[in-house]
Amino acid sequence: MFGRKKKIGDIFDDLPKAPEGVTPAVSEPRRSGKRAMLIPDTPYTDDPAADLLLANTGKQREDWLEILFASAVREGRQSELVNFLQSNYRVQKWWANSIALMYLKWRSQSKSVAAEEKLLRLTASIPTGVGLSYNLFSAGSIYGDNFNRFLKLQPDEKIVLTFNDQTRVSIIFEAVGVNTSLIIEHEFLNDATKIREAKKYWQQLINKLVEQVSR
């Protein structure tokens, strides 16, 4: 009557138990990024294969160029671009560096292959030598209040400018006898109105400089 009561088992007794003295395996931490990225064993490149770029970063070349150009680091150095990509898009280091190099290469080039509806391309002649023409177009004061700053000023007779409306201009100088031939490419003009305004702006500026050197 007063015998020991039978012990009621725990509700978890029927679950499998880990052997005593064995440390449970620790799962491998998840890799950063939206996907496991293949890391090539080659140096960073400014021309990654399109299929690998898409497969490992989830975006194509044009997507990354647009993202970086629209960002606050659009004029930054490679390290700034890499930090931006790693912090905001969780891109692995190798791919972040390669995307940054790809963007820097694109940024320094003229965009004559850009979409026609976003590009104004003009040619003009300045009746003076390349040296003086280059110096005239290097003067930031001639561009008015909308001028932002030089994105890149190159010693190879080419100037790249940025404006406050987020558009960009490449000016290429070529000697033609005693005169200078200009190729002006104004990029990222989003509509026909901006293209007309930009065309008028450059024609007035060129006429002003031609009059100045012809005195």
Last residue of a domain, one of 62, 83, 108: 108
Residues 91 and 124 in one domain: no
Let me know if residue 60 belongs to a domain.
Answer: yes
Let me know if residue 7 belongs to a domain.
Answer: no
How far lies 136's CA from each of 9, 192, 209, 210, 211, in Å? Answer: 93, 29, 8, 11, 12
Last residue of a domain, one of 108, 138, 155: 108
Alpha carbon distance 191, 28 (integer Å): 51
Residues 164-206 have pLDDT tens digits of 887 888 888 888 889 999 989 898 888 889 999 999 999 999 9
b/e burial code for range 57-96 (CB count within 10 A of at least 16 → b): bebebeebbebbbebebbbbeeeebbebbbeebebbebbb
Residue ranges making up the domain that contains 102 = 50-108
Closest CA to 57 of 80, 73, 82, 33: 33
Last residue of a domain, one of 108, 131, 146: 108
Residues 63 and 89 in one domain: yes
Residues 100 and 121 in one domain: no
Residues 96 and 127 in one domain: no
Residues 125 and 171 in one domain: yes
Q: How confident is the model at residue 113 (pLDDT cuts 50, 70, 90)?
A: very low
Residues 61 and 144 in one domain: no
Tell me which amino acid residue 8 is: I
Alpha carbon distance 140, 122 (integer Å): 20
- What percent of the chain is predicted at pLDDT more than 70? 75
Residues 68 and 143 in one domain: no
Closest CA to 89 of 73, 104, 75: 73
Let me know if residue 180 belongs to a domain.
Answer: yes
pLDDT of residue 64: 93
Residues 103 and 120 in one domain: no
Let me know if residue 80 belongs to a domain.
Answer: yes
Let me know if residue 138 belongs to a domain.
Answer: yes
Beta-carbon count within 10 A of 121 CB: 15
Let me know if residue 188 belongs to a domain.
Answer: yes
Let me know if residue 22 belongs to a domain.
Answer: no
Alpha carbon distance 101, 82 (integer Å): 9
pLDDT of residue 158: 80
Let me know if residue 8 belongs to a domain.
Answer: no
Q: How many structural domains comprise the chain? A: 2
Residues 54 and 137 in one domain: no
Residues 46-103 have pLDDT tens digits of 999 988 999 999 998 888 988 888 788 888 899 999 999 999 999 999 999 999 999 9
Q: What is the CATH number of the domain that holds 162?
A: 3.30.530.20
Annotate 61-120 with three-state secondary structure: HHHHHHHHHCCCCCCCCHHHHHHHHHHHHCCCHHHHHHHHHHHHHHHHCCCCCCCHHHEE
